[in-house]
Structure 1
Amino acid sequence: MLKALLFDLDGTLADTDPLHLLAWREVLAPYGLEVNEDFYRKRISGRLNPEIVKDLLGLEGEEARRLIEAKEARFRELALNLKPMPGLEELLEKARARGLTWGVVTNAPRENARHVLKALGLNPPLLVLAEEVGRGKPDPLPYRVALRHLGLTPREALAFEDSPSGVRSAVGAGIPTYALLTGHKEEALLEAGAWGVLQDFRKAMELL
């Protein structure tokens, strides 16, 4: 029996990817990197920041930390008037009415996660941050930690993601997972293991 909904944050609860793309474009431009939508989708989306800057620039340590902080500060400047994904509020209301709990499982840094949730007016009963559990998506660990906190089996939860990395994480933990088409193509999301794809959360009402 379904007991919990688990959500990714960026690109899932709100369409924040265009803002992340812009912030990355600005901080990487001085390094001669041009960040367009295809580059963002293939090299940045769904990954942890330290992995991104090491892969793209070979940076680690203090220089990497400064770059990441500059990027995230810029993102927070841009992310002031966020709107929840269509259908999200109705889905959460239906979940509450059915006695389901919910949580957020994200690769986002804590400050960003708090910022986005506050901007959306959301206060999830559970927040799992990849940076605090030791491994990020696509590793299944963040979702396994969420299940452990809730005391649930994988089939008692339903996950929503928006990237192949996130889908692989949730599916790797054994959780049925649906993917939103906010930034990646249907084929890539299904290939990663998504049970289905959604334009937004209005169709997700049928899953409860």
Structure 2
Amino acid sequence: MTIHAHALLFDNDGTLVSSLDSVERCWSRWAREYGITAEALRRVELHGRPAVDIVGDLLPARLVPEAVSRVEQLEVEDVPNGGVHLLPGTRDFLDSLPADRWAVVTSATRRLAEARLDAVGIRPKALVSADDITRGKPDPEPYLLAARQLGVDPARCVVFEDAPAGLRAGRAAGMTTVALATTHRAAELDADLVVRDLSALRALVTDGGVDISVRP
């Protein structure tokens, strides 16, 4: 199977980098501070959604702004403590792409996203964060904004995601979807192509775009 794209749009956490340990550590501490039980925290999806949506599921609206700021602080402070590392294949795959052909589209705030990307040496020319949108994944707004920033028709974009919410966002934007089974089982991921991680893929740059295929 070969997928042809004019632009490649990558989720960050769980797609390019792993921050699972940091997320669990920071959100558990945050939950204790706000009197949220471990059981209540387990009932919400922590991956692939903006923090404001997660916090809004757990706390009264009047507490949301302060609580979102607190969890962002915890996660940013955790980055130097080994809170993030590259997933297999990320470096080689990104290095094979022209800088103007790809963007990062994350549910994290810009401050947190940049901290995590800087920690692993990834510096995208285009970045869409939770601060840039009014509706987060699974709404298509983040991916549609990234396509506009790159000047590419959404139908010619390919989304790379690890979370069901992000894959739904990509499909709703009219884009081809590639799922990486890094944080969810393959059976839980509904996409045009499902692979274990970016090491399973190769990219061939052509005059007309980028051809993505599975390594033999």
**Both structures adopt the same fold (TM-score exceeding 0.5):** yes
Per-residue CA distance 1:41-66 (angstroms, 9 max, x = gap): x5322222222122122x223x3222
1:68 CA drift (Å): 1.9
Q: Which position in structure 2 is the counterpart of 1:168? A: 168
Instruction: Quote how far apart the aligned CAs of 1:35 are.
Output: 5.7
| 1:118 match | 118
**Alignment partner, residue 55 of structure 1:** 57
Distance 1:176 1:21 in 2: 30
1:74 paired residue number: 74
Aligned to 2:206: none
* TM-aligned CA deviation for residue 141 of structure 1: 1.0
What's the counterpart of residue 131 of structure 1? Answer: 131
Deviations 1:61-96 (A, max 9, x none): 3x3222222222221222224322111111112223
TM-score (norm 2): 0.83
Asked whether the equivalents of residues 110 and 130 of structure 2 are also in contact (C-alpha less than 8 Å), the reply is: no
Between structures 1 and 2, the one with greater strand share: 2
Q: 2:192: which partner in 1?
A: 195
Aligned residues: 199
Inter-partner Cα distance in structure 1 for 2:100 and 2:200: 18
For structure 2, the 5+ residue unaligned runs are 204-211
- 2:159 is matched with which residue? 159
Alignment root-mean-square deviation, CA: 2.1
Task: Provide TM-score, normalisation by structure 1.
Answer: 0.86
Matched-pair contact (CA < 8 Å) for 2:100–2:150: no
SS in 2 for 1:89: helix
Please state how far the C-alpha of 1:138 moved relative to its aligned partner: 0.4
Q: Kindly, what percent of the aligned residue pairs are identical?
A: 33
1:100 Cα deviation after fit: 6.0
2:146 alignment partner in structure 1: 146
1:17 aligns with 2:41: no
